[in-house]
Amino acid sequence: MDGELRNRIQKIDGLIAQIRSGTDPRLRDAALDLMQTVMEFHSAGIDRMMEIASETGETGWRIIDDFGRDELVANMLLLHGLHPVDLESRVKEALQKALPYLHSHGGNVELLEVAGGVVRLRLIGSCNGCPSSSLTLKNAIEKAISEAAPDVTSVECEGLSELVSIHNAT
Protein backbone atom coordinates (compact mmCIF):
# COMPACT_ATOMS: atom_id res chain seq x y z
CA MET A 1 0.00 0.00 0.00
CA ASP A 2 1.48 3.35 -0.95
CA GLY A 3 2.17 5.98 1.70
CA GLU A 4 -0.54 8.42 0.60
CA LEU A 5 -3.26 5.76 0.76
CA ARG A 6 -1.98 4.53 4.13
CA ASN A 7 -2.03 8.13 5.44
CA ARG A 8 -5.63 8.62 4.27
CA ILE A 9 -6.75 5.43 5.97
CA GLN A 10 -4.96 6.41 9.19
CA LYS A 11 -6.55 9.87 9.05
CA ILE A 12 -10.01 8.31 8.70
CA ASP A 13 -9.30 5.97 11.62
CA GLY A 14 -8.12 8.93 13.72
CA LEU A 15 -11.17 11.02 12.93
CA ILE A 16 -13.51 8.13 13.76
CA ALA A 17 -11.70 7.67 17.09
CA GLN A 18 -12.10 11.40 17.80
CA ILE A 19 -15.82 11.26 17.06
CA ARG A 20 -16.30 8.17 19.22
CA SER A 21 -14.53 9.82 22.14
CA GLY A 22 -16.68 12.96 21.94
CA THR A 23 -18.28 14.08 25.20
CA ASP A 24 -21.62 15.25 23.76
CA PRO A 25 -23.53 12.00 23.18
CA ARG A 26 -26.08 13.59 20.81
CA LEU A 27 -23.38 15.16 18.64
CA ARG A 28 -21.30 11.96 18.72
CA ASP A 29 -24.30 9.82 17.72
CA ALA A 30 -25.28 12.27 14.98
CA ALA A 31 -21.74 12.31 13.55
CA LEU A 32 -21.54 8.50 13.59
CA ASP A 33 -24.99 8.24 11.99
CA LEU A 34 -23.95 10.73 9.29
CA MET A 35 -20.80 8.76 8.60
CA GLN A 36 -22.73 5.47 8.40
CA THR A 37 -25.38 7.00 6.11
CA VAL A 38 -22.73 8.40 3.73
CA MET A 39 -20.98 5.00 3.70
CA GLU A 40 -24.25 3.23 2.87
CA PHE A 41 -24.99 5.77 0.11
CA HIS A 42 -21.53 5.32 -1.41
CA SER A 43 -21.78 1.55 -1.12
CA ALA A 44 -25.11 1.48 -2.96
CA GLY A 45 -23.75 3.79 -5.68
CA ILE A 46 -20.55 1.80 -6.19
CA ASP A 47 -22.50 -1.46 -6.24
CA ARG A 48 -24.82 -0.01 -8.90
CA MET A 49 -21.84 1.20 -10.97
CA MET A 50 -20.39 -2.30 -10.93
CA GLU A 51 -23.80 -3.72 -11.87
CA ILE A 52 -24.02 -1.36 -14.86
CA ALA A 53 -20.48 -2.28 -15.93
CA SER A 54 -21.27 -6.01 -15.67
CA GLU A 55 -24.36 -5.57 -17.85
CA THR A 56 -22.14 -4.54 -20.77
CA GLY A 57 -20.72 -8.05 -20.94
CA GLU A 58 -17.11 -9.12 -21.23
CA THR A 59 -15.73 -5.57 -21.43
CA GLY A 60 -17.55 -4.62 -18.25
CA TRP A 61 -16.25 -7.68 -16.42
CA ARG A 62 -12.69 -6.80 -17.50
CA ILE A 63 -13.20 -3.32 -16.04
CA ILE A 64 -14.49 -4.82 -12.79
CA ASP A 65 -11.43 -7.10 -12.68
CA ASP A 66 -9.25 -4.02 -13.16
CA PHE A 67 -11.04 -2.38 -10.22
CA GLY A 68 -10.01 -5.34 -8.07
CA ARG A 69 -6.36 -5.00 -9.12
CA ASP A 70 -6.10 -1.24 -8.58
CA GLU A 71 -4.81 -0.63 -5.04
CA LEU A 72 -6.91 2.46 -4.31
CA VAL A 73 -10.13 1.15 -5.86
CA ALA A 74 -9.64 -2.32 -4.37
CA ASN A 75 -9.29 -0.86 -0.86
CA MET A 76 -12.42 1.22 -1.37
CA LEU A 77 -14.32 -1.85 -2.59
CA LEU A 78 -13.09 -3.81 0.43
CA LEU A 79 -14.28 -1.04 2.74
CA HIS A 80 -17.77 -1.45 1.28
CA GLY A 81 -17.68 -5.25 1.07
CA LEU A 82 -17.80 -5.10 -2.74
CA HIS A 83 -14.44 -6.50 -3.87
CA PRO A 84 -15.07 -8.55 -7.03
CA VAL A 85 -12.66 -11.33 -6.01
CA ASP A 86 -13.41 -13.39 -2.91
CA LEU A 87 -10.91 -13.45 -0.04
CA GLU A 88 -9.78 -17.04 -0.52
CA SER A 89 -9.02 -16.46 -4.22
CA ARG A 90 -6.97 -13.35 -3.40
CA VAL A 91 -5.03 -15.28 -0.74
CA LYS A 92 -4.35 -18.15 -3.18
CA GLU A 93 -3.12 -15.68 -5.80
CA ALA A 94 -0.82 -14.03 -3.23
CA LEU A 95 0.64 -17.38 -2.24
CA GLN A 96 1.26 -18.25 -5.90
CA LYS A 97 3.19 -15.00 -6.30
CA ALA A 98 5.26 -15.78 -3.19
CA LEU A 99 6.12 -19.34 -4.25
CA PRO A 100 9.20 -18.56 -6.38
CA TYR A 101 10.77 -16.74 -3.44
CA LEU A 102 9.82 -19.49 -1.01
CA HIS A 103 11.17 -22.18 -3.35
CA SER A 104 14.44 -20.26 -3.76
CA HIS A 105 14.88 -20.59 0.02
CA GLY A 106 13.99 -24.28 0.10
CA GLY A 107 10.49 -23.67 1.41
CA ASN A 108 6.89 -24.07 0.38
CA VAL A 109 3.45 -23.27 1.80
CA GLU A 110 0.14 -25.09 1.95
CA LEU A 111 -3.14 -23.22 2.41
CA LEU A 112 -5.13 -25.00 5.11
CA GLU A 113 -8.10 -22.68 5.57
CA VAL A 114 -9.49 -19.17 5.07
CA ALA A 115 -12.28 -18.41 7.54
CA GLY A 116 -13.51 -15.25 9.21
CA GLY A 117 -10.59 -13.16 7.97
CA VAL A 118 -8.06 -15.67 9.36
CA VAL A 119 -5.73 -17.52 7.01
CA ARG A 120 -4.21 -20.81 8.24
CA LEU A 121 -1.10 -22.06 6.47
CA ARG A 122 1.43 -24.83 6.83
CA LEU A 123 5.05 -23.95 6.10
CA ILE A 124 6.96 -26.79 4.46
CA GLY A 125 10.69 -27.34 3.95
CA SER A 126 13.61 -25.35 5.23
CA CYS A 127 15.74 -22.41 4.19
CA ASN A 128 19.07 -23.97 3.36
CA GLY A 129 21.82 -21.97 5.05
CA CYS A 130 19.38 -19.37 6.33
CA PRO A 131 19.69 -18.75 10.09
CA SER A 132 16.09 -17.65 10.48
CA SER A 133 14.16 -19.89 8.10
CA SER A 134 10.75 -19.42 9.69
CA LEU A 135 11.15 -15.65 9.77
CA THR A 136 12.27 -15.50 6.13
CA LEU A 137 9.26 -17.48 4.92
CA LYS A 138 6.86 -15.72 7.28
CA ASN A 139 7.91 -12.27 6.05
CA ALA A 140 7.54 -13.20 2.38
CA ILE A 141 4.11 -14.69 2.98
CA GLU A 142 2.95 -11.80 5.17
CA LYS A 143 3.94 -9.21 2.56
CA ALA A 144 2.26 -11.09 -0.30
CA ILE A 145 -0.99 -11.63 1.59
CA SER A 146 -1.09 -8.08 2.96
CA GLU A 147 -0.79 -6.63 -0.55
CA ALA A 148 -3.42 -8.90 -2.09
CA ALA A 149 -5.83 -9.17 0.83
CA PRO A 150 -5.56 -6.30 3.31
CA ASP A 151 -8.86 -7.44 4.79
CA VAL A 152 -7.17 -10.53 6.26
CA THR A 153 -7.11 -10.01 10.02
CA SER A 154 -4.43 -12.59 10.80
CA VAL A 155 -2.35 -15.35 9.27
CA GLU A 156 -1.45 -18.40 11.29
CA CYS A 157 1.50 -20.41 10.00
CA GLU A 158 2.36 -23.82 11.38
CA GLY A 159 5.39 -25.86 10.56
CA LEU A 160 9.15 -25.41 10.41
CA SER A 161 9.44 -26.48 14.07
CA GLU A 162 7.40 -23.61 15.48
CA LEU A 163 4.01 -21.95 15.26
CA VAL A 164 4.23 -18.45 13.84
CA SER A 165 1.34 -16.02 14.06
CA ILE A 166 1.29 -13.06 11.72
CA HIS A 167 -1.10 -10.20 12.45
CA ASN A 168 -1.95 -7.86 9.60
CA ALA A 169 -1.03 -4.25 10.43
CA THR A 170 -3.83 -2.78 8.32
Percent of the chain at pLDDT exceeding 70:
86
The pTM assigned to this predicted structure is 0.68
Percent of the chain at pLDDT exceeding 90:
39
Q: Average pLDDT, whole number, for the chain?
A: 84
Confidence (pLDDT) at 134: 66
Confidence (pLDDT) at 130: 52
Is the distance from CB of 73 to CB of 90 less than 8 angstroms? no
What residue spans define the domains of the chain? 3-79, 87-167
Distance from C-alpha of 30 to C-alpha of 32, rounded to nearest angstrom = 5
pLDDT level of residue 124 (50, 70, 90 thresholds): confident
Confidence (pLDDT) at 45: 95
pLDDT in tens, 30-81: 999 999 999 999 999 999 999 999 999 999 999 999 998 888 898 889 888 8
For domain 87-167, the CATH class is: alpha beta
Q: Higher-confidence residue: 105 or 49? A: 49
Confidence (pLDDT) at 60: 95
If we measure between CA atoms, which residue out of 122, 152, 150 comes closest to residue 137? 122
Q: Worst-scoring range by mean pLDDT, 17-26, 32-41, 116-125? A: 116-125
